[in-house]
Amino acid sequence: MNVSRSNVSLSFDDYIGHVLFGGQGYAICFGSGLLLLTILLDKSLRERKEMRIIAGQAAANLLSGVGSAWLSTYRIVLLIQGLQSTPSSPFNCVILPQVG
């Protein structure tokens, strides 16, 4: 695949959305991971039925946070390398263009 790099200079405004999205993802990972770990390690919390529901919600939230953190980090790497406007098909978008 022939990839052309963009010569457009990027400003802080081009990065801020991705940085905020990634920061939110990392904060979700930290908070949900801490809550899930606390529930899993404390036997009295594991025995309560409502805590099982909260643990399940924390696990789902953790997966969502991991996805948004990884995706925003990847997008920032694409911006740094000048590959932000590389054309790709929907399938290629799913398998992610190579950075390197």
> In percent, how much of the chain has pLDDT > 90?
41
Burial (CB < 10 A; 0-12, 13-18, 19+), residue 40, is middle
Residue 11 dihedral angles phi and psi, to the nearest 5°: -105, 180
pLDDT tens column, 48-95: 999 999 999 999 999 999 999 988 888 888 888 887 777 767 776 666
The pLDDT value given to residue 1: 47
